[in-house]
């Protein structure tokens, strides 16, 4: 039996309905005009229909009773108005929720917006009940984001920013360290780059790609990656696309592995390959002199 429903239990509770934006081979920028819906286009959702052609009611029995009681809900619905079986003027056959490419806020203590919320959730192939669930189906077009989730996301981002700037503070007085960090990130760094420019570039990485900044900051293989990149610049290691090779054409990886950066690092860190690593370091030192 359904628990007796009371809209007052949802006082102050808010959710957002947000687009699930996916990139593809043609559009790689999630901010692109055509990444979700173009211009004023909309998606309209109504109560789902079952295999037998009958309407699947988004509300349970207790909710229906509540919204059909004007003294409780403040709405004009009367007994039987919200029944999915009503033959004439069936509410669910005509009622639609229109969504566009912009986030939509729903206050769950508002009767109309609560019904819209439940109707959207009933469209379980198109509306994900949470951001986590949104990754599980390609058919999801929107996701329900709770206020708690947004708060937790903001707090998580703040914690990551604090961690990033703490690391930034450790290297901001060392031009060489800042240059090395940016090189590992993939940034072309001029040899005469000044401290002000380096700090600005690191700040941009934090603001534009916080996750990548922290990945590099925590990367135990950062120094080995730097050696590989500097050896490429010095002509000691050859790079073909994403693959790395020694000058003689030998792949910078164990037999059977593709010599991409991760496998090149593993190769140079292997005990049996320390002579190769030492030779690369020596040649780099000579190139810098």
On whether residue 238 sits in a domain, the answer given is yes
CATH of residue 275: 3.30.250.10
CB count in 10 Å sphere of residue 24: 7
Number of domains in the chain: 3
Same domain as 90, residue 68:
yes
Find the DSSP H helices in the chain. 61-67, 70-73, 91-94, 111-122, 147-171, 175-185, 195-208, 210-218, 222-233, 261-269, 274-288
On whether residue 131 sits in a domain, the answer given is yes
Range of the domain at 247: 220-289
Same domain as 199, residue 138:
no
Residue pLDDT tens, the chain, 289 long: 567 999 999 999 999 999 998 765 544 444 544 456 777 899 999 999 999 899 999 999 999 999 999 999 999 999 999 999 999 999 999 999 999 999 999 999 999 999 999 999 999 999 999 999 999 999 999 999 998 877 887 888 899 999 999 999 999 999 999 999 999 999 999 989 999 999 999 999 999 999 999 999 999 999 999 999 999 999 999 999 999 999 889 999 999 999 999 999 999 999 999 999 999 999 998 887 6
Same domain as 135, residue 123:
yes
Same domain as 94, residue 15:
yes
pTM over 0.75: no
């Amino acid at each position: 039996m359904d628990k007796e429903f009371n809209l007052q239990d949802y006082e102050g509770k808010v959710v957002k309905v947000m687009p699930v934006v996916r990139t593809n081979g043609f559009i790689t920028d999630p901010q692109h005009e055509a990444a979700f819906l173009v211009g004023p286009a909309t998606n309209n959702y109504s109560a789902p229909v079952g295999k037998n052609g009958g309407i699947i009611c988004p509300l349970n029995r207790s909710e229906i009773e509540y919204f059909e009681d004007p003294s409780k809900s403040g709405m004009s619905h009367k007994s039987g108005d919200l029944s999915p079986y009503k033959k004439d003027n069936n509410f669910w056959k005509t009622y639609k929720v229109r969504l566009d490419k912009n986030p939509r806020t729903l206050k769950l203590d508002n009767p109309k917006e609560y019904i819209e919320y439940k109707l959207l959730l009933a469209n379980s192939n198109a509306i994900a009940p949470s951001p986590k669930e949104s990754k599980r189906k390609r058919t999801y077009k929107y996701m329900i984001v709770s206020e708690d989730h947004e708060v937790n996301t903001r707090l998580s981002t703040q914690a990551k920013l604090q961690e990033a700037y703490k690391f930034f503070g450790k290297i901001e007085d060392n031009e060489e360290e800042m240059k090395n960090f940016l090189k590992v990130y993939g940034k072309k760094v001029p040899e005469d780059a000044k401290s002000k420019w380096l700090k600005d570039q690191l700040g941009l990485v934090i603001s534009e790609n916080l996750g990548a900044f922290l990945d590099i900051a925590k990367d135990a293989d950062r120094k080995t990656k730097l050696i590989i990149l500097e050896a490429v610049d010095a002509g000691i290691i050859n790079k073909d696309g994403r693959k790395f090779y020694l000058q003689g054409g030998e792949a910078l990886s164990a037999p059977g592995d593709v010599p991409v950066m991760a496998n090149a690092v593993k190769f140079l860190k292997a005990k049996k390959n320390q002579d190769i690593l030492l030779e690369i370091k020596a040649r780099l030192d000579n190139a810098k002199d």
